[in-house]
Amino acid sequence: MITKLTKDEITAFVGKNADYYFTRWTPLVEGQNWIAQARSQELPENALMDALSKRGGTSFGAALGFFAIFGAAIVAVSSGLKSFTSGQ
């Protein structure tokens, strides 16, 4: 027997899922921690920037890969829409 969920049950379920995903994906917090750790060493400005840049950054290859995937998705959706609207 299946019963309908109440509004409170749905709200609790959505709240718990949002809390799980939003608190566990924390690159912003990690970045803030790295900056705080580097600043606590009281380095000069140039040395501070060097220390932070050694932590890593954006991958040029990853940017190109995402661009290629995005382009392929646009082409796939566009060709799918053309065949859908032409009735084939």
Same domain, 13 and 47: yes
First-to-last alpha carbon distance for the chain, in angstroms, is 44
Domain count along the chain: 2
Same domain, 32 and 62: no
Instruction: Record the pTM.
Output: 0.37
pLDDT digits (tens, 9 = 90+) for 18-55: 877 776 666 677 778 888 888 888 888 888 888 877 77
Q: What are phi and psi of 4, to 5 degrees?
A: -70, 145
Same domain, 85 and 52: no
Residue 74 is part of which domain span?
58-88
pLDDT digits (tens, 9 = 90+) for 45-72: 888 888 877 776 667 888 899 999 999 9
